[in-house]
């Protein structure tokens, strides 16, 4: 989860040098630093349950699932993000020999919050679409049963929305399924 803050322009190299020494996380959007804010209880529970479901399905296979702290670089306008969940299949490609910035995610999942929803749906998704490797982008609401699944089909992104706890969302690119009942099992949606 991130929060857009007043920023100073840095080059990508300056950002990486800064970020690798920082005690808190920051995203980088075409020269601007975006401070990451803390996540809510619901956000953490949903992220953990999605990670656990994917990890158990992918265990022993050629795909790896990462949570929160693995940075992803997009281009050609360089940006760096910390997706809530990232999946890479085959050999992970990294930006350099520090091995902390992925270049080839196949699936990216963001858990939405009121402060980041517009950013995750708009600017961030536009940047993720620049990744040739990315096949699926998933947005998970934390305050209602609502999961939006974007699937790349050549140059277009097809969107499907899931709104019932009994729904099962297929992740075709990694041959997995996410049961919405499992995603929301520990979150109180009655407000």
User: 44 to each of 19, 39, 68, 111, 113, how far by Cα in Å?
Assistant: 23, 6, 10, 9, 11
Provide the CA 173 distance to its chain's centre, in angstroms: 15
Q: Is residue 25 included in any domain, yes or no?
A: no
Q: What is the pLDDT of residue 191?
A: 61
The pTM for the full model equals: 0.92
Residue 33, burial from CB neighbour count under 10 angstroms (0-12, 13-18, 19+): buried
Q: What is the pLDDT of residue 3?
A: 44
Q: Using an 8 Å Cβ cutoff, are 106 and 134 in contact?
A: yes
CA angle 130–138–170, rounded 5-degree value: 115
Q: What is the pLDDT of residue 36?
A: 86
Q: Is residue 122 included in any domain, yes or no?
A: yes
Q: Using an 8 Å Cβ cutoff, are 84 and 120 in contact?
A: no
Q: Is residue 44 included in any domain, yes or no?
A: yes
Q: Is residue 30 included in any domain, yes or no?
A: no
The low-confidence residues of the chain, meaning pLDDT below 70, are: 1-8, 191
Q: Using an 8 Å Cβ cutoff, are 82 and 74 in contact?
A: no
Q: What is the pLDDT of residue 115?
A: 83
C-alpha 37/C-alpha 171 separation (Å) is 28
Residue 103 sits in a domain whose CATH number is 3.90.1570.10
C-alpha 190/C-alpha 162 separation (Å) is 18
Q: Is residue 81 included in any domain, yes or no?
A: yes
Q: Is residue 125 included in any domain, yes or no?
A: yes
C-alpha 15/C-alpha 24 separation (Å) is 13
In the chain, the number of structural domains is 1
Q: Is residue 151 included in any domain, yes or no?
A: yes
Please choose, from the candidates 143, 140, 129, 131, the residue with its C-alpha nearest in 3D space to the C-alpha of residue 169.
140
Q: Is residue 101 included in any domain, yes or no?
A: yes
CA angle 136–142–143, rounded 5-degree value: 135
| Full domain range(s) for residue 84 | 40-183
């Amino acid at each position: 989860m991130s929060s857009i803050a007043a920023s100073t322009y840095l080059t990508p190299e300056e950002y990486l040098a800064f970020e690798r020494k920082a005690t808190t996380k920051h995203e980088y959007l075409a020269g601007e630093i975006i401070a990451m804010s803390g996540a809510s209880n619901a956000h953490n529970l949903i992220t953990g349950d999605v990670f656990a479901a994917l990890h158990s399905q992918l265990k022993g296979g050629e795909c790896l699932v990462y949570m929160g702290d693995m940075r992803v670089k997009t281009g050609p306008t360089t940006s760096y993000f910390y997706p809530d969940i990232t999946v890479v299949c085959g050999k992970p490609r990294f930006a350099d020999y520090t091995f902390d910035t992925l270049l080839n995610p196949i699936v990216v999942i963001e858990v939405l919050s009121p402060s980041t929803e517009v950013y995750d749906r708009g600017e961030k998704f536009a940047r993720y679409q620049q990744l040739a490797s990315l096949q699926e982008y998933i947005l998970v609401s934390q305050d209602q049963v609502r999961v939006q699944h974007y699937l790349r089909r050549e140059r277009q992104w097809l969107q499907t929305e899931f709104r019932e706890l009994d729904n099962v969302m297929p992740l075709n690119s990694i041959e997995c399924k996410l049961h919405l009942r499992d995603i929301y099992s520990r979150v109180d949606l009655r407000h």
